[in-house]
Structure 1
């Protein structure tokens, strides 16, 4: 029968592959609900744990999302609604960012140490840093984003305004660094992965949702890192836009 599963290979992976093929063939279109656990058990003659593991596999593949009490739905891969412009401009009034977003809640400031990728990008292993976390919202679409600014203590000590107000807006930080005599440049790296539990909560995402992560490093003219910014957004509801200038 077409629905039969060949044993004894990993059952849940076989089932996940069959369902992925059905999604690719259009049997289950974007936004449509997959058959219930009971229906899948009966159709493929497998156990409930196998069905649940297969659905989890589909979530990890980014093909479906599960809604508590409703079921599993095929993800819609349309054009993201929010366009986040990753641009920086400067005028006589200071710096401006292409997409500042609106703060959904007050920023949270903590002190910590630079570790992992933060230490690598700032070139400061276990250095003391100020960390400011913001929850942002796109006013037009409601898409959410988290933004983190990391300022090393040695940078803040050179600028009393940063030491006193580490939660300053990034554009204001750029202005302060420039006023201190720095000629700034920026490097940005973008990566993607499935959201972690705390990220799903902050961004209001379901299991298996992919996110985009950008790391923007502000450096001096000779390449010394000054501050780090991290932006996390849903890959389904937002897209990043960059303006490229050739000199």
Structure 2
């Protein structure tokens, strides 16, 4: 057992100790880790510290946490099996989309590079990836200024190909960049995504622009467990 000392971040030491046990075969694929009570006694740390370590190991794809059962080592062939879904692949809707209008607050303005207070069309929805049943929260932002003269003022959120076509016809060639962030979910997000406890989420925002001006921003939020991002450079 790795010795836990007090002159370094405890959660990092616990993470490293458990990671070493997994990589050295002390706990094999599909095998349960010791119970939480046993690990608390083994490492002499708080429940919060232990759970921080388990979150990191889960994010790394080394373990999975099954509600009511405990923590299990992932099988080697499933560690990175789940990839992000190309946006061209449609989600199966889960309930109705919520469409409304709002002004960009400071955080939104900074994220998608629009002036604070800009009027936005907003579409929020929950979907399910057809290949694996993973839930995804989507949030699409369309600036009023980008919609003007496109016909989108009365129907701001048609199917994605039609939306991009309308924006391209009005504003010219479109370019896009993707922003990626991992964080812990809010209680509402955990409920909507049906997440087990202490599961981080991955948030990807595709910002589409024309002539240096943002015309569309599409955010998808889902469980970060075993996610792998793949990009093709052309």
* Alignment match, 1:38: 37
1:138-153 alignment, distance < 5 Å: 138-153=129-144
Q: Of 95, 119, 135, which residue of structure 2 is paired with 1:128?
A: 119
* Alignment match, 2:182: 193
Q: Of 93, 99, 106, which residue of structure 1 is paired with 2:89?
A: 99
* Alignment match, 1:56: 51
Alignment RMSD (CA, Å):
3.1
Q: Of 106, 109, 122, which residue of structure 1 is paired with 2:99?
A: 109
Q: Of 153, 156, 177, which residue of structure 2 is paired with 1:163?
A: 153
Contact kept in structure 2, 1:194 and 1:208, CA below 8 Å: no
- Cα 1:147–1:28 change in 2 (3 A) is same
| Mapped pair 1:178 → 2:153 | no
Cα deviation, residue 123, structure 1? 2.2
* Alignment match, 1:95: none
TM-score (norm 2): 0.77
Separation in 2, partners of 1:154, 1:213: 25
Counting matched residue pairs gives: 226
- Cα 1:113–1:140 change in 2 (3 A) is same
Unaligned runs of 5+ in 2: none
Separation in 1, partners of 2:53, 2:99: 37
* Alignment match, 1:218: 208
Deviations 1:43-93 (A, max 9, x none): 45x3xxx3512321213314345444322334566233455225xxxxxxx
Separation in 2, partners of 1:12, 1:139: 36
Separation in 2, partners of 1:15, 1:68: 21
Separation in 2, partners of 1:25, 1:55: 20
* Greater C-alpha Rg: 1
- Cα 1:28–1:208 change in 2 (3 A) is farther
Higher mean C-alpha deviation, range 203-212 or range 7-16: 7-16
| Mapped pair 1:24 → 2:27 | no
Separation in 2, partners of 1:81, 1:38: 31
Contact kept in structure 1, 2:83 and 2:228, CA below 8 Å: yes
Separation in 1, partners of 2:69, 2:171: 55
Separation in 2, partners of 1:148, 1:155: 17
Higher mean C-alpha deviation, range 9-18 or range 222-231: 9-18
- Cα 1:208–1:223 change in 2 (3 A) is same
TM-score (norm 1): 0.74
* Alignment match, 1:89: none
Separation in 2, partners of 1:104, 1:117: 27
